[in-house]
Amino acid sequence: MKKRRHGKETVMLLGAMLLGMPAASCADLSLQDAIDMALEQNTALRITQKNEDTAQAELDQTKIENGLQIKGSESLSAETHSSSETDTSKNSLGVTASYPVYTSGKAEANIDSSKLGLEAAKLSTERSREDLKLSVIKAYYDALEARRTVDVRQETVDKYQDHYTNVQQLYAAGSKARIDVIRSSVELSNAAQNLIKAQNSYEVDLAALRNYINMDRSEPLNLTSDFSYDHFDIDMNDCIDYAYRNRKDLLVDTYKYQQQEDALKAAKAEFGPSVTVSAGPDWAHTFKPSNKSGTDYDFSAGATLSWDFWDNGLTRAKVRKAEVSRDIAKLNLTKDKEDIDLSVRQAYYNMREAEKRLNSTGDAVRQAEEDYFIAKEKYRAGEGLMLDIIDAQEALSTARLNYISAEYDYARYKATVENAMGIELTDHEKEAAAKMLLTPADTAQAAVAAESEAVLQKPVAPANAKPDKDTKNLASAVQKAKEAKANKPASGDVSSDQVANDLAEGEVAQ
């Protein structure tokens, strides 16, 4: 009776696990496809791009305010005089064209500042695209790692199920104690719980990936790309130097600093004079008294000189405020340089640590598999203990999960290093990002043209820079990866040689 109850519990656990498995019919999605879809469809990126329209509108507004303006006016007036019975009613209409000839440099400073704001908005969009690419890569590898974790947890459950069945048979034959059956059932239940959690993590990671690429949240996905070791052979100091010269957000900070310089110029310009010329006709029609009714026409033109000799210190206060804002912008530029240095170093160290773990965990997996096999056979022969099998299975699961974690940690941190360096999108990815701004007709035409081109390019990693001394003696897997990389066909997008040349020549990305 008790044996049957345990068997029933096992079936229920396995049924619950099968409910969490992904559907068989899934849409195939490669890593490059995910990046392209995110660059085309991500809502947050659309919001960021709208900042370009705002900056363009501000530039247009600044030009208009400091350019030729034509204004019209009309008035209707009536006057009653107490000293006489005569009332006066008059309608006036006037048109005036004005143009600021000289503003002591204020107009020019404001226009230059607005131009810098537009360029900064465009660079911010580009940086947001690079950050979105990194987020998609991380989400994709998170989902892959979760899927591999599900496989490990499922294999663990299967092994515990086989062991539980074997213990039941040995107990029925009288060669094992009842406590072994109970302990096997408990371990099977615990393994099933871990599997359910892993399956849920996989679904959560898929949901995050769907959110980045803005696709149907309920559509099943089959991730077709997987981890492929690609050695990163650039010294950390070269990475930092490259980041200083190519990070778009750092260039945005430079533009913001220049904007504050222009704001200071505009504030100081208020100490000087301004000259405005104006001209225009005026019409006046008199209704009352009737003996003076008629229309008068005038044309006036002139120049106005305006100069505030004394404003009680208002202009000086504006100048001090502008100076403080400029100093803050300069400090922000310095701080962001420090943050970039830190972010590159953190990602680089984490990448190298994951790379070293990747080289060491492979042997641990093989040894754990051998240890589990020995423990299982000894127990089957009646020479081992239940605890030996449990420990061996736990060690095997841990070794496999550590290996999986090292693989995807390396892939994620490598992508993080490239992002921290400011490596721009490939040409193919730029084309995908450009589709977000196209009309539906333009998008359809671009899709037809893209069918004849080579698709899907892997993310670019700089090469041929100074090698990292700490990793020059890696395991043989590194050499094999480098040989495989050397045999790859050349790509039409941003090449690693180009990035290496940027490192050598000190060119700054525009």
| Closest-CA residue to 267 (of 217, 212, 195, 323) | 323
* Tokens found for residue 89: 């009613």
Round to whole Å and give the CA distance between 57 and 223. Answer: 42
Q: Is 226 exposed, middle or buried (0-12, 13-18, 19+ CB in 10 A)?
A: middle
Looking at residue 460, its pLDDT comes to: 45
User: Who contacts 341 (Cβ-Cβ below 8 Å, separation ≥6)?
Assistant: 240, 243
pTM over 0.85: no
For residue 306, the SS3 value is: strand
Backbone angles phi, psi at 267, to 5 degrees: -65, -40
Eight-class DSSP state of 294: E
What 3 state SS string does 87-117 have?
EEEEEEEEEEEEEEEECCCHHHHHHHHHHHH
Rg (CA), the chain: 36
Q: What is the largest CA-CA distance in the chain?
A: 134
Looking at residue 84, its pLDDT comes to: 55
Round to whole Å and give the CA distance between 464 and 229. Answer: 17
Looking at residue 174, its pLDDT comes to: 81
Cis peptide before 459 (omega within 30 of 0): no
For residue 305, the SS3 value is: strand
CA distances to 364, 373, 386 from 389, in Å: 17, 9, 5
* Tokens found for residue 510: 């525009």
Tell me the β-bridge partners of 266. Answer: none
CB 156 within 8 A of CB 393: yes
In sign, the C-alpha dihedral spanning 138, 141, 147, 148 is negative
pLDDT per residue, tens digit, the chain (510 aa), is 344 444 444 444 444 444 444 444 678 899 999 999 999 999 999 999 999 999 999 999 888 888 888 888 877 776 666 655 566 677 778 788 888 888 888 888 889 999 999 999 999 999 999 999 999 999 999 999 999 999 999 988 998 888 888 888 878 888 778 888 888 889 889 989 999 999 999 999 999 999 999 988 888 889 998 888 888 989 999 999 999 999 999 999 999 999 999 989 888 888 888 888 878 787 777 766 655 556 777 777 878 778 888 878 888 898 999 999 999 999 999 999 999 999 999 999 999 999 999 888 877 888 888 887 888 778 777 776 767 777 888 888 888 899 999 999 999 999 999 999 999 999 999 898 888 865 444 444 445 454 544 343 444 444 444 544 444 444 444 445 445 544 544 444 444 455 445 554 544 443
* Tokens found for residue 258: 């220049």
Q: Is 333 exposed, middle or buried (0-12, 13-18, 19+ CB in 10 A)?
A: middle
Looking at residue 79, its pLDDT comes to: 67
CB 366 within 8 A of CB 403: no
Backbone angles phi, psi at 177, to 5 degrees: -85, 160
Round to whole Å and give the CA distance between 435 and 148. Answer: 34
Looking at residue 175, its pLDDT comes to: 77
| Closest-CA residue to 160 (of 308, 316, 328, 10) | 10
